[in-house]
Each structure stands twice: as structure tokens, then as C-alpha cells.
Amino acid sequence: MTAFALGIGLSFLAAFGWGIGFITYKLGVKSTDPLTATFLRGLVAIPLIITISVLLYGIESLTVFFKGEASLWLILSAITITLGDFFSLFSMKKLDASISQPISATYPLFTNIILLIGGIEKVTTQIIIGTLLNVIGAGIISFQTNRKDENGLEKSQEEKRNNLQGMIFAILAALAWGFTIVFTKILLSFDGINVIPMLGIRNGIMILIAGIGISISYLRNKLNKIDKKLTSKKDLSFLILGGIVTWGAGGISFFTAVTLIGAARSTPISSISPFFVLLLGSVFLKEKISKLQLLGVVSIVCGSILLSI
């Protein structure tokens, strides 16, 4: 198999893995706040990825990130992916997965905008058309979501407010992920840096950040005598499974594809995950999908693919 074919296949595998992961996260955040969810999903995934890294590349593969300029891009990548994942999980608490995920999947739009502002790429016809399709698709989903409920009835002001918050956080997630891809692409260009160790260290920093946030929140609640409900075993299982699938099958596949065929091709292909979320959400979460929402998903996916052709 050629490197090109392998890269394309891994990009599709990443999309499928992220689609499954999104559904498991949706199931896991029902009674868990986004900060705690971010921490819990790494309890098994991070030790597993780091163990695989040491077995494949040796302990040196983990220490190389803390030398020279690479450490800067590692920290930037860790901060932006932490923000992106937190915003995404918060969005899922407000919206159906089949609505939240397509909006957050517009990250190729922001990746390309960042590259253009940096003077790395020129504005092409494909980028203009792809950008318009992304914006139109997100607009269709947002309009339909904020106007009618699943039975076609007018939503209350509180429901509209929750939907608006969910959509804003989904867009913020896409923006943060757009920066993450650019920073990670630069990080992977340094000698001696491999995909699997990078994911273990970078996402390990994410879990550390989330853990610090949880500790601060716990102390604040303790001082204010606020009792917080613990995460159920069922939610914990879904979050752990989601972490393994998203960071394992999804993350490793995607960034390996980036090294094989470049972010220009792998990023838009990986963004077709809304199709998988749409299918899985309707089957396992019993979410009703309107024709307009389906049209919005198709528009976003087509736009994302066009963005980097």
C-alpha cells in the first residue's frame, strides 16, 4: 500500500473514530460537568498511549518534547486542544450530538484561515467556495436548531438560550481545534518527534490542566459547602471508552495521516465525521434529524473537503 493510500485510509478511520467517540462522550456527559469529563476520559487512554510509545520508540521519545523550540509548540497545542475539547463537551450538554458535532467539525475552515493569515497559503477558488459552504451549513443547522424542537414546535426562550450557548461553544471548539492542527503540524516537523508519543504527552498535559481545574473547583465547593454529585459508573465507562477511541483510533490515525499526506488533505477528509455522528446519533441516541439539518451537514462536509483540495 502506498503512503498516499494509507494516509487517505487513516483519515477516514480518524473520522469514524471521532464519530464514535463523540457519541460516547454525549452519553457520558449527561450528569458530568465538562471539566471532569475531560479529566476522566484520559484515565486509561493516556497511560495506554504512553506505554505504547515507550514500547515502540523508547523513553527518549517522551523527553524530546521538552527540549528547545518544540516545547513551545507542545504547550500551545496542549492549551488549544484542552479549550477545544472543553468547549465541545459543554456544547454537547446543550445540544444533540447530531447538531453540536457538525458545527464543531468546521475546524478546517479555521485551520485554513490561520494558514492564510500567516501567509502560508494563497486564497484559492476552492477555499472561497469551501468557506461559504461551511458557513451556510452551520447557519442552516443553527437556524433550524434554535427555532423548532424535534416535533416541529416553537421552542421556549430558555430552550433557545441553551441552544444558542451550545452553538457558540461548538464554534469556539472548532476555532480552538483549528489552532491545534496548525500548532501540532509544526510540532511534528521537528526531528525525533513521533505521533504516538506526541499524543501521549500533549493530551497528558490536557488531563493535568483539567485535574488542576477540578481541584480548584473542589476546594471552592468545599469552602462554600456545596455538595457535588459524583460521576456514575455508567458515565465513567462511556467517557473512558470515548477517550480510548477518540485519542487512540482517531488521534493516532489522523496525525499519522498528516505526516503521510499533509494536513491539506487529511484535515478535510477527517471532518466527514458528522455523517457518522448523524447515523449513530439517530440509532443509539434516538435523535430526530430534520431535512434541513441533514442539508446543513452535507453542506459542511462538502465545504470542508473543498477547503484543502
Q: Which three cell numbers stand for residue 131?
A: 468557506
Q: How far apart, in whole angstroms, are the C-alpha atoms of residue 76 and residue 39?
A: 19
Distance of CA 61 to the CA centre of its chain: 25
Q: Look up residue 40 and give its three cell numbers.
A: 476522566
| pLDDT recorded at residue 171 | 92
Q: What pLDDT is recorded for position 75?
A: 94
CA-CA-CA-CA torsion sign (96, 156, 226, 215): positive
Q: How far from chain centre, in Å, is Cα 70?
A: 23
The domain spans of the chain are 3-307
Give the pLDDT of residue 188: 87
Q: Please report the pLDDT score of residue 154 as a whole number.
A: 56
Could you report the average pLDDT of every consecutive run of 10 residues in the chain (309 residues)? 81 86 77 80 89 90 86 94 88 75 80 77 69 73 57 61 85 93 88 90 91 84 61 83 87 88 75 73 69 78 69
SS3 assignment, position 292: helix
pLDDT of residue 263: 72
Of 251, 195, 256, 198, the closest CA to residue 41 belongs to: 251
Return the residue matching grid coordinates 465507562: 237
